[in-house]
Amino acid sequence: MKTDELARLEKRLGYTFKDRSRLELALTHRSCGSRNNERLEFLGDSIVNFVIAEALFEQFPEAREGQLSRLRARMVRGVTLAEIGREFVLSDCLRLGSGELKSGGFRRESILADAVEAIIGAIYLDAGMEVCRERIRSWFTDRLAGLSATDNQNKDPKTRLQEFLQSRQNPLPKYQVTHIEGDAHDQVFTVICELESPELNAEGKGSSRRGAEQQAARFALEKLGVESA
C-alpha cells in the first residue's frame, strides 16, 4: 500500500500511527489470507460499543436502559459504521483478495463497517484508550447531536412500520425483491413492501436490499398517513 495513501487516510482519521503496520493490518480483509483485520475488528467492536454507551449515558441522564440500548444499536450498526467508512474514503485503502476486488468488495457495507471497527482497535493498541475514545467521539459528534431519547424517528422505518401494524393487531409486512440492476459492485435493488391489512404496496430502491426495504417501509408509512411525505 502506498505511503501517501495511508498518510491521507491518517489525516482524515485525525490520527497518525506510531506503528503504521497496525493501520495496514486494519485495512486488510480476510480474503487476503490468514493475516487480516478480524482480531482488530473484534477488539474495535467492543471498544466502540463501550465508548458510544458511555457517551449516551452522559448525554441522556434521564433515559431508561431500553432507550439507551436502542440508541446505541443505531449508532454502532453496520450501516452507520459503513457511512463513516465512506466519509474516510476507506475504499481507496482497503486490501482485498482478487475475488473480493472483482465483486466490488471495496464498496460492500459489511467490509467497510468491519474496517472501521478494526481501525478503532488499531488506534487503541497504538495510543491507548483515551486517544481512542477521543477519536470515536469526534467521528460520531454530529450523529450523537442529532439524537433524542424520546424521538420515534430514532427507530428505522421497518421497525416503525412493524410497531404500527402490531399496535393494531394487523399482519406484518412482507418484503419482496422485484428487480436488481447494475454491475455487481454497483447494484440497485428494487423492493416491494406488501401489507395485507390495510391492503397496500409501496416500492423502494437502494444500493442494498436492506436500504431498499427501509425506503419501501418509509413510503408505506407515508401512504398510511403515519408520516408526512
Take residue 144 and report the three cell numbers written for it. Answer: 450523537
pLDDT of residue 229: 46
pLDDT over 90 at 10, yes or no: yes
Residues 46 and 144: their CA atoms lie apart, in Å, by: 18
Contact 191, 213 (CB under 8 A): yes
- Residue with C-alpha cell 449516551? 56
126 is catalytic: no
Q: Select which of 41, 45, 109, 126 is catalytic.
A: 45
pLDDT at 70: 86
pLDDT band at residue 207 using 50, 70 and 90 as cut-offs: confident
pTM assigned to the model: 0.67
Q: Among 34-43, 105-114, 122-131, 149-158, name the one with the lowest average pLDDT.
A: 149-158
Would you call 54 a catalytic residue per the annotation? no
Instruction: Choose among 166, 187, 186: nearest CA to 177.
Output: 187
Cα gap 87→139, rounded to integer Å: 10
Q: Which amino acid is located at 118 in the chain?
A: A
What does the pLDDT average to over 70-85? 90
Given 41, 109, 117, 156, the catalytic residue: 117
204 near 191, Cβ under 8 Å?
Answer: yes
| pLDDT beyond 70 at 13 | yes
